[in-house]
Structure 1
Amino acid sequence: MNSNELMKQSILACDDKRAEDIIAINMQGISDISDYFVICHGNSDKQVQAIARNVKDEAEINDINVKRLEGFNEARWILIDLGDVVVHVFHREERDYYNLERLYKDAPPFITLDEVAN
């Protein structure tokens, strides 16, 4: 599975658990860490954990190695490192505070759920 397909799979896994404001940022040429950041948020600790768990489970079903999963117990900002794709699942307040989208505003246009679902 290439990084574009993995990014789309991650977005759909977030959407399955009703994540809000799901976007992907194309990090190719910007960062050596990954090709895409997927960013979304949930409105409760349980929802944030459910979103992260679903992303992890979908990756494992497709034989994608989850390199790291951090922040799960706190459920404020969970980072799921899938190699070429890093998924950031925030609690709403944390997303507003850290505002990763602002940090990468010079990246190519963000990819949305609508673009992936069609």
Structure 2
Amino acid sequence: MLTREETIVKVLEDKKAVNVEVIDLQNKDYIVDFVVIATTLNAKHGFALLNHLKDELKPSGEEFLRVDENEDWTVIDLGDAFIHLMNEKTRDKYSIEEFLSELETNKEG
């Protein structure tokens, strides 16, 4: 059985998303436990990916708490995870992976 993260990656890759990356943030000082980033081919592809994710994840009880979408970038809030579907130009411009890699590790105590 696939984990939720693996299911998300499988759906995105099966539907031709490019450069799908999962960033584990469970031990980092950030508002979610993980982020999935994927590059879309165009605006319609981004909207289609969102619908495929809903079709695949909602039956297992996943809640899409908030979705912000435009033709360049869709952000899906699952509560403890974000999914970013971005066209290549937007992904290069904002380089979220770089920002997230620089987060401090949580220091208990």
What code does the residue aligned with 1:101 have?
E
**Runs of 5+ unmatched residues, structure 1:** 108-118
Tell me how large the CA RMSD over aligned residues is: 1.7
1:51 paired residue number:
49
1:92 paired residue number:
88
What code does the residue aligned with 1:16 have?
D
Distance 1:11 1:102 in 2: 20
What's the % identity of the aligned pairs? 25
Q: Aligned pairs, how many?
A: 102
Q: Structure 2 length as normaliser, TM-score?
A: 0.84
How far off its partner does 1:13 sit? 1.4
Distance 1:75 1:13 in 2: 20
Local SS of the residue matching 1:54: helix
**Runs of 5+ unmatched residues, structure 2:** 104-109
Change (3 A) 1:42 1:105: same
How far off its partner does 1:55 sit? 1.4
Among 58, 83, 94, the residue aligned to 2:79: 83
Change (3 A) 1:35 1:65: same
2:106 paired residue number:
none
Question: Could you report, residue by residue, the CA deviation over 1:36-64 in whole angstroms, capped at 9, with x for unpaired residues?
Answer: 10000112111111112211221212111
Change (3 A) 1:81 1:94: same
Local SS of the residue matching 1:104: helix
| Aligned residues of 1:37 and 1:88 also touching (Cα < 8 A) | yes
How far off its partner does 1:89 sit? 0.4
Q: Structure 1 length as normaliser, TM-score?
A: 0.78
| Aligned residues of 1:59 and 1:66 also touching (Cα < 8 A) | no
Distance 2:88 2:48 in 1: 14
Q: Computing the radius of gyration over CA atoms, which structure comes out larger, 1 or 2?
A: 2
Q: Which has the higher contact order (CA 8 A, sep 6+)?
A: 1
